[in-house]
Every structure is written in structure tokens, then in C-alpha cells.
Structure 1
Amino acid sequence: MRVLETLTWMVAMLAATAGAFVIVTFGPVLLRRHEAATRLSGLFALDRSHGTLVEIVLQGLEKAGRSIEGAKVNQELKSLVLRAGFFQPSAFYIFAALRYVAGFTVGFLVIVARIGPQGLHLIDIILGLFFGYLFYRYVLIALKLYADRRANVIRRELPPVLDIMLMALDAGVSIDQCMRYVASVAGRTAPVTSEVLRRHVADIDGGMPYDAALDRLGQRLGLDEGQDLASTIKQALFQGGELGTTLRRFSADMSEKRMATAREQVGRKAPHLTLVMILFFMPVLLVVLAGPAVVELKGALQNAGEQMTKTRSSK
């Protein structure tokens, strides 16, 4: 019975983990669909009194998140949500509500799984609260991992994007035309970075000042190199200077950083390989080297025992 309860509890945790992973993975798609549906409903369906199920769920999560956060907004968490690629204003509140939903759901499932014939005990409630808080923290850790993964993708995509920008600038186009051209042609080679550039172009077309749009560009890129790139373009626009030379130097620095990171990762593999060899190769080697000696020692001890038995029997 205890084994069955343990398996039920493990299945509940795995199901909650899979659900949280699906929500975090497909969150941007849901948010983009929500934004597109909201715009279309405002343009073509003004008299509609109800929305889709996804809209209702997202609006409910947003309202719950606003109620939870209140007037004080956690800027660190908000910047983390932005680094993860969720640019909609409601994404922060939806994530804040999802954390509590995940924690309460996992805690409730653990408590339900622990209910036995004798009812509910205090230890069951404590376990439910513990695992609920654990998954409440796990949602934040998952968002951090997703943001780091996105930052690594952008870090890999920036060098070819900078090369295209340099080619466009060397052809004599302006910075604005260069950004538009890169956003339109880099969709396959750099999908994440090109999406950020398209949003930057949309901000400019919407009437946002160049300095504010470039600041938002650096925030959307979500890494230090992106902030430096936005600052470099901003300085060239408002203070003058040769942007091509600066970008070429910036691209060379990024390439050197990538090579240094690659060398560091290769250097970390050597201790890992040594540990693997110690765990898997050394026992086999010891068996091969010491096996014959152990067999011979065992045979010698058996012969000595037989001789001692014969001597005692003859006496």
C-alpha cells in the first residue's frame, strides 16, 4: 500500500512538472495569440461580449497576478520575464499568477495522494506544503533557465547579424535602413534576434523616439552584449562617429569571447572524462590485473586446507 502511494505521488509530481514545462514552453505562443486576438477583436468585433477560452484564462491569470503583486512590482522578476522573451505587458502578471497556481496544484495533488484509509495526517499536510513551495520555486528556476537559454541563442546569433549590418553599412545605407534590412533578411539565420529587431522597427514606426527604442532593444536582447550594441548605435546616432569601425571592433570582440567560451567548455570536459575513466575504466583494470592473483591465492589456500585435512586424518 505504501508503494502504491509513493508511485501515485511520483506520477503526480511528473504530471505537474510536464504541465509546467508545457506552459513555460508555449507561453509566448499563447501570449502572441492573445495579443493578436485582442487587436482583431478591437478592429472587427467591437460588439463581441465574450472571448475565447484562452483569452478568458489569460485575462483571469492577469487579474489574479495584478491582485497578488499589487502596486509594488518586482522589477527583478519583471526584467527576468523580459529576458525570457515575454514582451507583452501582461506577461509579468500572468507568470506571477502561474507560480502560485503551480504551487497550489502540486500541494493539493500531494495531499490527495497521501490520503489513506485512516484519513489525513499532519505529516501529509506538511509534505503538501513543502512540495507546493518547492514547485513554486521551480517555476522561477525554469524561467531563469529559459532566459539563459535564450541569451545563449542570441549570443550565438549576434556575430552573423553584425556581419550583415556591416555589409549594409559599407554599402552606404543609413542606420535605420540597415536595421530594417537586417530584420527582414535574418529570419532564418537568426530567428530570435530578427524578432527583436522587427519589434524595434515596429516601435520606430509607431512613433517612439530613437533613444527609447534603442533602450528597449537592449532590454529585449537580454544580455550585456545586446546592451552594448544598443548603446553603440545610440552613441553613433546622437553623438556622431564612424559606426562601421565600432561595430567591426565589437564583432571581433564578440568572436573572441565566443572562442574563449569554447576553450573554457573544452577545458571543463577533461576533468569530466577523467572522472568517467576513474568510475568505469579503473574497476575493470583492477579486475583484469588482480583477478589472476586472486584466483591463484584462492587455489593455494584450498590446497593448503586439503593438505592440513589429510595430515590430521592420517594422525
Structure 2
Amino acid sequence: MNRTRVIFLKIFKCLLAIWIFGLIWFNGPIAGHNLWNPLLAILWLIALILVISKLPAGKAMMSGQLAFFVLPVAVFSLIRPSNHRDWQVSSSRTPYATLTGNLVTVHEIRSFDYDADGNEIPHWSTRTYNLENLVAMDVFMTHWKSDYAGHPLFSFDFGAEGHLAFSIEARLEKDESYQLLSGLYRRYELIYIACEESDAVRARSHYRDNESVHIYRTIASPQQARARFMEFVRTMNQLREKPRFYNILTSNCTTAVRSQMDGGFPMDWRIIANGKLDELLYERNILETAGLSFAQLKERSYLDPLVIGNPGKERYSSRIRDGRPGF
């Protein structure tokens, strides 16, 4: 084995060891015991180091290392996604759509309301939309403390029939909280939540202190908006029949959309660092800009709750668009 191959093998084993350490830490075999899985990960790493350092070079050491690497990967490969778990209320129903000609009936639309303290008032609905009435597509961008961390929501304007939004999320069970690195290890399922703007957007713009929301209209024609809408519907229905895992790199709120698009979308680092997605869409001339720079557009697109007040469910979609560029 030449020197280059030896170096490559060592790097590969090091990266694999780091990945397996994270696998055991974040999605280990001891369910419901968050302290035990990290301890097991540490013990696994210590044992691996002992095997490498104590066993003599040769077949014995290779066999020992192989066992330490293969067993966790084999167990990981057996983990399967499911739509049937004890889900948190916000993602407890699996939405789907049925089509009859130009009519699309969307079932299990999340239509939550919120009390004065921001507590959820659960409600789901079923609505029918005529694709001939689809006139535009909008994008909401949620940002947290970092400009590099965000969450997009995609909304479709059916005129008098109202708006229907999609939020692509990690589906959490009742005893789970979202952890970024857990999203590498089949910890969460992927869900397409069909929702009202007064639910998913309003929760972020008015009731979550650590989130800011911007609204943008895209330049999509009615025909293009229809194509994008049907991609969401198709993927949503596929997930109902065949669930998939959420992954922070390959199947998150932006990469999942990229993968579902007919014809694809050029890869860009801002699809991963998705807090910058609105900047990317601006540069690709996908947003209505009204001749503004990106900084100006972002400033005027901010849904400031102090400015727009707190309109109820019926007025929310129209109120947040008043005076915004492109509307």
C-alpha cells in the first residue's frame, strides 16, 4: 500500500469515527435516556482507541477496527422512517392532496390560531383550490440570530380562494426537541406541512421572540407557480405513502425543494446556509425587486409586528402585504 493510500485510509477512518461517535451520541440505541447515549459514545471511542493502540498491527487490529466500524453502521442502516409515531401536536397529522381536473383538494391543512400568550389553538381544515386561479408564488424567510440560519416558507396565491403555504420541517415526537446535529443521523422524519399563513407565518412573525420574518413576491408567472405548486403537492403525497428522513444537508427546508424541482436548480452554498436564500433568489432575479437593492428590499419586506399590528386570521394575509415591494 503506497503512502498516498495510507494517508487517505487514515483520513477516511478518522472521519468515519467522528460520524459514528455522533451517531451514537445523537441517535444511540438507548431510547429516552439522553445521558446514556453520550456516555455510550464516549465508551465506544475509548474502546476504539484501545483497539488501535494496543492490538499489534496486522489482521487482529484490522478485524478489531472493522468490527467497531461495521456494527454501528449496520445498525444505522436498519433504522426506517415512519408516519406513525407519537408526534407533537403541530405535526401530528400528515397532509395530502387529491386532484380532480384543475381542482386540488388539500386535506389536513394546519390552521392553528394563537391566544394572547402565543399558545397554540389547534385546528385542521380541508380546502379545495382551482389551479386556474393560482396567480403568484411568494417566499417568506425566517431568520434567527444569525443571518446564515433561516427557514423559508413557500406560499401560493389563489386570489379570492386565499393563500396556501408549505413549511418543510423536521417532524418531532412529543419527547423530542430539535438539535441541529441530530439531523445527520435519521433522528427526525421529514414533513411537508400545508398551512395557512395566519398559522405558520404569524407564529413566527408575532409570537416567537427570536425570529424575524420577511416576505417576498417572486416573478413566477401563473404557469410557473402552478408547476412549483404541483411539485409540492407531489412530494407531500409521496411522503404520506413513503416517509423519508429529514437531513440537515440533503433533505432540509431548502435542499428538499431543490431536489423536487423539475429541471433542478443550480447548487449554491446558500442553499445549505439557508438564511442567505433570499439573497440568492435576489441575485438570480427570482424576486420582484421594485428596483431596490437587496438591502433596501429586505428592509421594506420585514414583517415588523409593531408596524402591522396583530391582525386576526382573516386579515393576516392581506395586512402583511400592504405596501410591500412587488405586491
TM-score of the superposed pair, with normalisation by structure 1: 0.28
- Structure holding more strand per residue: 2
- Structure holding more helix per residue: 1
The answer to which structure, 1 or 2, has the higher relative contact order (CA under 8 A, 6+ apart) is 2
Select the structure of larger CA radius of gyration.
1
TM-score of the superposed pair, with normalisation by structure 2: 0.27
